[in-house]
Amino acid sequence: MKIAFVGDVHGCVRHALGAAVLLQERRGIRLDAVIQVGDLGAYPSPERFDGASRRFARDNPAQDDFFRLLDPSPRFAEGVRGALGQVGPMLFVSGNHEDHDWLAGLHEAAGADVVPVDPGGACRHVACGSVLALAGQRVAFLGLIEVAGKMDLDERAYTRLMGLEPGDVDVLVTHDGPYGMSRDWRGNVQGSAKLSRLIEHLQPWLHVSGHYHHVNGPRRYGRTTSYALHQLVRPKASRWDPASVNPEQRVTAGSVGLLDTDAGDFTYVHDDWLADVRGDALDLAGLVAATR
């Protein structure tokens, strides 16, 4: 069976669904699940954006696509329906850039660990600490990042996962990554020591994360192999990394990963066609129709 993993989306939901549809079509495979590693950019309205999300969306219009998903035009809804029909819903865990209160309210209202966030049910949020059976794998989810304050790892969820036995989980999906995986441009060490301890305790055979917006892995932690995904659509311009500009808003190589559960094999997707998923206003319905 096959699971596609998608890096930080930051609102570009049409790019995410389009990449999953093309991955399935170009590789001639059937995806059994699509998992997004957080920073989907799930806010109920632009007024609820945090400061960084507001700044980036101003310069990158595709990052407003999440709001179009919540209140779609007929053409937008047709694209979402078509993608959903081909690849199924995209499950996502919390990143640090989501409206956490809004998501918590959806779970509370539904009384469920997995809740659709949009009217079409294309994106479904998975509560931190959940373990789901997907494509024959026991997949554990822990969102957010290790930092003091509102974005900090959910302590109850963390304790719950630490209470499982080693080997109870096959795949661990987190937003933050293991401690020491990389350094930022100032030289600060990146990653979470708590997540490192969780990986060492659970010993899943696979760990997949996002947050740092670059490819990182494979890294070995005991019997676990860990991978971090690139941001799905890099910004049009970057103050920190001028080489990393993306004026045409193309999907980035290494922002999608493919797990073949039978082969026990995870690979980054670097195929040229990824760059065909692009634009400020991607025509998802057109992309889906072209793959039929």
Where along the sequence are the contacts to Fe ion (CB under 5 A)?
Answer: 8, 39
CB of 163 to Fe ion, least distance (A): 29
Closer CB to Fe ion, residue 40 or residue 83? 40
Ordered DSSP codes for 198-232: HHHHH--SEEEE-SSSS-EEEEEETTEEEEEPPPS
CB of 98 to Fe ion, least distance (A): 10
What does the block give as tokens for 275?
A: 């760059």
Residues in the chain: 292
CB of 139 to Fe ion, least distance (A): 21
Closer CB to Fe ion, residue 39 or residue 146? 39
Give the Cβ contact number of residue 140 at 10 Å. Answer: 27
CB of 9 to Fe ion, least distance (A): 8
CB of 199 to Fe ion, least distance (A): 20
Residue type, 59: D
Closer CB to Fe ion, residue 8 or residue 99? 8
Closer CB to Fe ion, residue 209 or residue 261? 209
Helix (H) or strand (E) holding 36: strand 33-36
Give the Cβ contact number of residue 281 at 10 Å. Answer: 14
Ordered DSSP codes for 238-292: -SS-GGG--TT-PBPTTSEEEEETTTTEEEE---GGGGGS--TT--HHHHHHHH-
Closer CB to Fe ion, residue 2 or residue 211? 211
By the 8 A CB rule, do 205 and 223 touch? yes
Closer CB to Fe ion, residue 79 or residue 95? 95
Q: What burial class does residue 159 get, using C-beta atoms within 10 Å of its C-beta: 0-12 exposed, 13-18 middle, 19+ buried?
A: exposed
CB of 232 to Fe ion, least distance (A): 9
CB of 212 to Fe ion, least distance (A): 8
Closer CB to Fe ion, residue 67 or residue 76? 67
Give the Cβ contact number of residue 26 at 10 Å. Answer: 15
Helix 284-291 and helix 74-87, axial crossing angle in degrees, nearest 10: 40
